[in-house]
Amino acid sequence: MLRRFVAVVVLGFAALLTVLSGQASAEGEQIIGTLQTGRSGPIEGVTITVETTGGDEVGTDQTDSDGRFAIELPDGAGDYVVTLDADDLPDGVILREGGAERRITVGANRTQPVAFGIGDGSLRQASANIEILQRTLEGIRFGLLIAMAAVGLSLIFGTTGLVNFAHGELVAIGAVIAWFLNVDAGIPLIPATVAAIALGAVVGAINELGLWRPLRNRGTGLVAMLVISIGLSLALRYVLQIVFGGRARAYVSFQGQSATSYGVIRITDKDLFSIALSLAVLILVALMLQKTKVGKAMRAVADNRDLASSSGINVDRVILFVWMLGGALATLGGVLFGLSDQVSWDMGFQLLLLMFAGVVLGGLGTAYGALVGSLIVGIFVQVSTIVIPDETKYVGGLLLLIVILVVRPSGILGARARIG
């Protein structure tokens, strides 16, 4: 069932993230939304009016250059009617299903996103095949992003046996560091990201040196370490919420790009850049694992720790390197996720389960398995939005995780070891 067209960007993912975090911490009520389509990009200057159900005007706003609007609700929580002035839409952009009026209910202290279905008509005749192609491309971008974060998770499991539930926080911390450098300190995003990656490696090293290495030396059991990583994840996640705030926020650079056409497929420059960068980085990681001494040592430790140790490999140093690599890659993944969606305090947890899905699908503990698995999960999640609503798209990825455990628990590239 072709429910939606690519060109219809119903609402910014930003709005979805605000809902997902579940607790907009702002005082007062607000209605927000974004108007944009694939071809026109963000639409500026459209008047949005909010009325009470009785017909009294509460507030009005015009969309800004990013296509966003925000209207404060001085009367507080309740039912409202939001109207879009269709005459303000540029030529070629039309209202789709649902029309120009939305009835919504705003809860106390909530920032309520409103979605208008608008389309530029360009893909009206698009065939299902092109739709799948387009979604696959988005899926490749998303999958590569998951893969970057997941390679570290898988290598950490492979070398230490730890299932690190706090790995998502490495992603979020990296993205937040880059956000502060980019927005507060005014550094352009690319140098800010480079700095954040370095700091992310340091965060990974602190993880290993400050917590996990002492625990390993004490002989703490693996299940205990797993639960400790959950404690760490909870603590870090909510420290992030205190430091960063409950709202999702965007980087200042590369906002509001409109898509360029390449034949039948349309993609924004930043998404294309994201794909290219992830591919390049992952190939470099693969080359490092394959060709360099430390990479071979990593694979050796992951394969058989005792054997590696007795062959003269300094296992602790290799594990430290794995943590630094994991922290750096997670940061880069986080920045790319923040760029395509937005930066939020709980982005790490959202990504964590998909990372697990990718890693398990590929085979726990293998670096290349994480890569392949994540790519499949990313594509599956994006392509599944053709049939299921956008907001439930992560469900597909998680179901895939359960199905693969039934069919082949060791994963695609994992050895057929007994894990039951």
List of residues contacting other proteins (CB under 8 A) = 19, 22-23, 25, 105, 107, 161, 163, 215, 218, 220-224, 226-228, 230-239, 241-242, 349, 353, 356-357, 360, 364, 389, 391-392, 394-395, 398-399, 401-402, 405-406, 409, 419-420
Closest contact distance (angstroms) between CB of 2 and other proteins is 16
**Which helix or strand (DSSP H or E) is residue 356 part of?**
helix 347-362
CB of 331 to other proteins, least distance (A): 21
CB of 163 to other proteins, least distance (A): 4
Amino acid at 270: K
Residue 347 Cβ vs other proteins, minimum distance, rounded to whole Å = 15
Nearer to other proteins, 263 or 420 (CB): 420
d(CA 140, CA 164): 25
Which of 160, 166, 156 is closest to 232 using CA atoms? Answer: 166
Nearer to other proteins, 321 or 380 (CB): 380
CB contact at 8 A, 347 and 187: no
For residue 392, the tally of other CB atoms under 10 A from its CB is 10
Smaller CB separation from other proteins, 124 or 408: 408
The CB-of-230 to other proteins minimum distance in angstroms stands at 5
With respect to other proteins, which residue has the nearer C-beta, 284 or 417? 417
**Closest distance of CB 32 from other proteins, Å:** 15
Give CA torsion, residues 257, 259, 260, 266, to 10 deg. Answer: 160
**CB of residue 419 to other proteins, shortest distance in Å:** 5
Residue 141 CA: distances (Å) to CA of 265, 280, 337: 14, 13, 10
Identity of the residue, 238 or 262, whose beta carbon is nearer to other proteins in the bound complex: 238
CA 220 to chain centre: 32
Tell me which residue of 43, 90, 48 sits closest to 66, measured CA to CA: 43
Name which of 298 and 360 has its Cβ closer to other proteins.
360
Please identify, using beta-carbon distances, which residue of 224 and 279 lies nearer to other proteins: 224
In the complex with other proteins, the residue whose CB is nearer, 128 or 402, is 402
Spatial separation of the C-alpha atoms in residues 35 and 252, rounded to whole Å: 18
Minimum Å distance from CB 62 to other proteins?
27
Least distance from other proteins to the Cβ atom of residue 25, Å: 6
Residue (127 or 304) nearer to other proteins, CB: 304
Calculate the dihedral angle through the C-alpha atoms of 301, 353, 24, 170, rounding to the nearest 10 degrees: 10
In the bound complex, what is the minimum distance in angstroms from residue 292's beta carbon to other proteins? 29
Q: Contact at 8 Å (CB) between 362 and 372?
A: yes
DSSP 254-312: T-SPPPEEETTEEE-HHHHHHHHHHHHHHHHHHHHHHHSHHHHHHHHHHH-HHHHHHTT
- Distance CA(129)–CA(108), nearest Å, equals 44
Amino acid at 67: G
Supply the minimum distance, in Å, between the C-beta of residue 253 and other proteins: 29
Cα 89 from Cα 278, distance rounded (Å): 36
Between 219 and 263, CB nearer to other proteins: 219
Q: How far is CA 255 from CA 107, 191, 261, 270, in A?
A: 29, 17, 18, 9
Is residue 310 within 8 A of residue 146, CB to CB? The reply is no
Pick the closer one to other proteins by CB: 14 or 163.
Answer: 163
Apex 312 CA angle, 306 and 314, nearest 5: 80
Phi, psi of 35 (to 5 degrees): -110, 120
